[in-house]
Amino acid sequence: MSIKKKRFFSFILFFTFIGILNFSAELPIKDLDQSIEKALKDWNIAGLAIAVVKDGQVVHLQGYGYKNVVDKTSVDENTIFGIGSTSKAFGAATIGVLVHEGKLNWDDKVIDHLPDFQLADPYVTRELTVRDLLCHRSGVETNDAIWFGSVTRDDIVYKARFLKQAASLRSRFDYHNIMILTAGQVVASVTGKPWDDIVREKIFQPLGMSRTCTSINDFDNYTNVSTPHIPKDEKLVPVAWLNVDSVGPAGCVNSCAADLARWVQLHLDKGKYGGKEIWNIRIQNEMHSPQMIMSPQMTAAAFYKIDKHAHFGLYGLGWMMHDYRGKKIVHHGGATDGMGAFIGLIPEDKLGVAVVHNTRYTMLLSSLVYRIIDAYLGVPEAEWMDLKPIKIPVRPKKKSPDLPADTSASLPLESYTGVYTHPLFENIHVKLKDGALVLDFDLYPTAALEHKYLDTFKTKFEKIISTMWDRTLGHELDVTFFVDAEANVTKMNIFGLGDFTRIKK
């Protein structure tokens, strides 16, 4: 290359770089960087990255804070975060691409593609469609404890038959990770490839989302990966990444702000990216159209101060939606251990915001999105969404009854030992070790049992299963053994998991 050409390309690259540095000036919001930096401290967040898209252009793309509070490495637009349930939109979009290609239909019966699929209710088994899977209206009880165990996706889908039919088909909204996973297995059945390969082939690669993956096992191929954090004693503590491979499109995607900007651009351009059609307008309309009424508690309106601007919550295909200041908002949030994400779109205004952070999910994510939306909608600055932390009301815990002192188990500890089984959680071996009972799970870490009262004990797991598990179920679970009239232990109940039948001593 000649010296003149080299100088020309250097000139172009320099001004392209300057343009990138200055594109945030297009935002109709003052001091965004300072507001975010302050919010990180106020909310006790390790690091955050944000992408703003307007009229097809990325107008703000930046990282803030730290990937890890220990070594204080900085977040940038390419830092990878876990996006949790924001993955569901990728699950729906993968189905959408196959519908676009004529390989399946939204209203195909699930059993037409997964002949061995079965639910507790034969009618629901027969009538359940792919659309039903994607908009959480199966009526099947939710049970997320299943996928915390070391089981395959096929195992989880098989176990869906043991879940109770809590409501009739299409009668109510029940958020259901296992049904979204099942949609991913439909993709695998139709294409003969794992869902991960198809979403990479049909979406990640065409969009150039080179820093997006579906497993933490892929991190060996990347640098610049953030560390999850949780608050402990008002300080942030790094924790291990939670492996959510087994839940597939319900929550396994990891990405960065730069890649999510491309994802947002695709949706705002009605299925096109870089002039190429990934899916047609009909597919786009299906994903962004209401399919099921949600309960108010499940809408973003219930989470924060936007309740006075929103009146209903709906679910599309992989996306939630509600009204906000007279506009239709299409959105979804997501969380895994020490990670959070939120994406909000106003398709009619060609506006979209994606925010990710590496601390346990907080409402900073959505409040930041709505602050930017407020600015674009021309809302007076005094009325913009507040970035100050709020205390979400917490239902007070029931006080444990006072138990008699100096009680002991009604039977010798040896009497409780044996193998107990549950169709969802498989086997537990109750053993006597060093004079105390322990639970040796097939799927979860070992837990010691500490006597509580008569035939009730409480668990103490040898290690944390997941911070999400501890928040929903708890690290200490009550375990009650049931004794028949002949002093034989017949079953064991574990709070949050259910009854385990004793099959042998």
Coil, helix or strand at residue 205? helix
370 in Cβ contact with 346 (< 8 Å): no
pLDDT per residue over 338-392, tens digit each?
A: 999 999 999 999 999 999 999 999 999 999 999 999 999 999 999 998 898 876 5
Say if residue 48's pLDDT is above 60.
yes
Helix H, strand E, coil C: the string for 85-136 is HHHHHHHHHHHHHHHHCCCCCCCCEHHHHCCCCCCCCHHHHHHCEHHHHHCC
pLDDT at residue 266, as a whole number:
98
Say if residue 298's pLDDT is above 60.
no
Alpha carbon of residue 352 to chain centroid: 19
Backbone φ/ψ region at 496: left (φ over 0), alpha (ψ -120 to 50), beta: left
- Measuring CA to CA, which residue among 397, 404, 351 is closest to residue 373? 351
Neighbours of 432 (CB within 10 A): 13
Q: Which of 11-25, 48-62, 145-159 has the lowest mean pLDDT?
A: 11-25
We find that the CATH architecture of domain 32-383 is 3-Layer(aba) Sandwich (3.40)
pLDDT at residue 404, as a whole number:
67
Spatial separation of the C-alpha atoms in residues 216 and 193, rounded to whole Å:
19
- Measuring CA to CA, which residue among 90, 468, 134, 132 is closest to residue 252? 90
pLDDT at residue 492, as a whole number:
97
What is the residue-averaged pLDDT of the chain? 90
pLDDT at residue 24, as a whole number:
39
pLDDT per residue over 323-340, tens digit each?
A: 999 999 999 999 999 999
Spatial separation of the C-alpha atoms in residues 357 and 62, rounded to whole Å:
12
DSSP assigned state of 72: T
Q: Where are the domains positioned within the chain?
A: 32-383, 413-504
253 in Cβ contact with 90 (< 8 Å): yes
pLDDT per residue over 164-222, tens digit each?
A: 999 999 999 999 999 999 999 999 999 999 999 999 999 999 999 999 999 999 999 99
pLDDT band at 19 (very low <50, low <70, confident <90, very high): very low
365 in Cβ contact with 357 (< 8 Å): yes
Could you give phi then psi for residue 71, rounded to 5 degrees?
Answer: -95, -5
Residue that is written with structure tokens 């990891």 in the block: 254
Could you give phi then psi for residue 111, rounded to 5 degrees?
Answer: -70, -15
pLDDT band at 100 (very low <50, low <70, confident <90, very high): very high
pLDDT at residue 22, as a whole number:
37
Say if residue 320's pLDDT is above 90.
yes
Q: Which of 9-13, 133-137, 349-353, 471-475 has the lowest mean pLDDT?
A: 9-13
Work out the average pLDDT over 460-479.
Answer: 83
Could you give phi then psi for residue 279, rounded to 5 degrees?
Answer: -150, 160
Residue that is written with structure tokens 């929550």 in the block: 251
Say if residue 11's pLDDT is above 50.
no
pLDDT per residue over 249-278, tens digit each?
A: 999 999 999 999 999 999 999 999 999 999
Rounded alpha-carbon distances, angstroms, from residue 354 to 44, 262, 365, 369: 20, 10, 9, 7
Q: What percent of the chain has pLDDT over 70?
A: 89
Tell me the CB-side half-sphere exposure of residue 220, using CA atoms within 13 A: 2
pLDDT band at 297 (very low <50, low <70, confident <90, very high): low
pLDDT at residue 251, as a whole number:
97
pLDDT at residue 1, as a whole number:
46
Alpha carbon of residue 121 to chain centroid: 27
pLDDT band at 73 (very low <50, low <70, confident <90, very high): very high
- Measuring CA to CA, which residue among 434, 465, 435 is closest to residue 447? 465
Coil, helix or strand at residue 400? coil
479 in Cβ contact with 433 (< 8 Å): no
Say if residue 56's pLDDT is above 70.
yes
pLDDT band at 398 (very low <50, low <70, confident <90, very high): low
Work out the average pLDDT over 294-299.
Answer: 62
- Highest mean pLDDT, choosing among 25-39, 83-97, 453-467, 484-498: 83-97
We find that the CATH architecture of domain 413-504 is Beta Barrel (2.40)
